[in-house]
Amino acid sequence: MVNVLVRRNSGWQPAEWEAFADRAAPFWVDLFFPQPEEIKQVGAALAIEIPSRAEMEEIEASSRLYQEGGAYFMTADLVASPDTRSVESSAITFILTETALVTVRYSQPRSFETFSARIQKPGSNYGSSLELLIGLLEAVIDRMADILEVHSFEIERTSQLIFAESRKGAKPVDLNATIKEIGIEGNHISIIRESLITFSRMATFLNQAVTASPKAVEIRDLLRVIGRDIASLADHASFMTSKISFMLDATLGMISIQQNNIIKIFSVAAVVFLPPTLIASIYGMNFQFMPELSHELGYPFAIGLMILSAILPYLYFKRKGWL
């Protein structure tokens, strides 16, 4: 699908292919899940070579950030979060020319829809393709901040669940399920951090594109603000990563304590029943000359001795605080 917005009068308006004929007016071509023939048509109209999806997914910096034929090609991983349980990342290419901004994407991030609807309202102050790209980057970073905030809240909720004081009658925390929750959120934060790194590199590279712009100083100030925002989000994501590691270690420690308590119970039970078992074994040997066998109170005496030998170790363990 090819969506075209052209700068006309005081706003950006949808247009058809004929917009390419008016090269004086800035325009935005958004290629959303484009077909090969659409990529070829747009590339031919703008005299540029649009990278394929396989080329967009390459991880080398030289394949993601480069200048060719007067156009700047920048590819970054954009996070899309349909809900709090899912975070997805997809490579998106931004191509900047003197009059055009071309975006190639194979995902549907909310920031694109929001920004597109906003600039179509009267009074839009984006007067060039470069300013449009700066505005789009700001919308993307704002959306990523919202996504990071949501998942930071999920991590905090899980943390409170792990370290909450146990109340009488309350359902115990399922630590096995909690480990899974921690792993899911750890993966989410990792995806967000990787995306922030790619946009940080893109913002640095974009500084080269504003040299010839009449508003170079103003735009570089905006890029500096964007860079600071990305850095602060990256720092927060790093803090969340450290917190996730701590939560994982704490949860594993609690599981280990629970397992040790279970083993302790079995160990104490074995020690408590060891003396009665020894007494029962002695009186179960059936030797001919055992004075207690012929005694009238021999059976109650043996039973009482076994009970006493079980109670004494239990009381000792209780006094020591081992139970």
| Domain edge (last residue) among 211, 238, 257 | 257
| Domain edge (last residue) among 235, 257, 279 | 257
Q: Do 289 and 185 share a domain, yes or no?
A: no
Q: Do 264 and 238 share a domain, yes or no?
A: no
- Residue 61 sits in a domain of what CATH number? 3.30.460.20
**What number is the average pLDDT over the span 132-144?**
88
CB 17 within 8 A of CB 4: yes
CB 6 within 8 A of CB 13: yes
| CB proximity list for 148: less than 8 A, separation 6 or greater | 189, 192, 233, 236, 237, 240
Which range scores top for mean pLDDT: 112-116, 297-301, 302-306? 112-116
Q: Do 195 and 293 share a domain, yes or no?
A: no
Give pLDDT, residue 19.
57
Which range scores top for mean pLDDT: 122-136, 196-210, 223-237? 223-237
Provide the pLDDT confidence category of residue 293 given band limits of 50, 70 and 90.
low
Q: Do 243 and 196 share a domain, yes or no?
A: yes
Residue 71 phi, psi dihedral angles, 5° rounding: -110, 150
| Domain edge (last residue) among 257, 284, 311 | 257
Among the ranges given (21-30, 48-57, 150-159, 183-192), the one the predictor scored with the smallest mean pLDDT:
21-30
Q: Do 167 and 90 share a domain, yes or no?
A: yes
Whole-prediction pTM: 0.75
Question: What is the residue range of 285's domain?
Answer: 258-320
Q: Do 300 and 170 share a domain, yes or no?
A: no
Q: Do 72 and 176 share a domain, yes or no?
A: yes
216 pLDDT exceeds 80? no
Provide the pLDDT confidence category of residue 83 given band limits of 50, 70 and 90.
low
276 pLDDT exceeds 70? yes
CA separation for the pair 115, 104 (Å, rounded): 16
- Residue 316 sits in a domain of what CATH number? 1.20.58.340
Q: Do 77 and 95 share a domain, yes or no?
A: yes
Q: Do 222 and 310 share a domain, yes or no?
A: no
Q: Do 170 and 267 share a domain, yes or no?
A: no
User: Considering its fold, how many domains does the chain have in total?
Assistant: 2
Q: Do 59 and 140 share a domain, yes or no?
A: yes
Q: Do 154 and 290 share a domain, yes or no?
A: no
The distance in angstroms from the start CA to the end CA of the chain is 69
Mean pLDDT of the chain: 81
Could you give the percent of the chain with pLDDT greater than 90? Answer: 1
Q: Tens digits of per-residue pLDDT, 24-40? A: 778 888 888 888 888 88
CA separation for the pair 249, 243 (Å, rounded): 10
Give pLDDT, residue 85.
66
Q: Tens digits of per-residue pLDDT, 248-272? A: 888 888 888 888 878 877 887 787 7
Give pLDDT, residue 18.
61
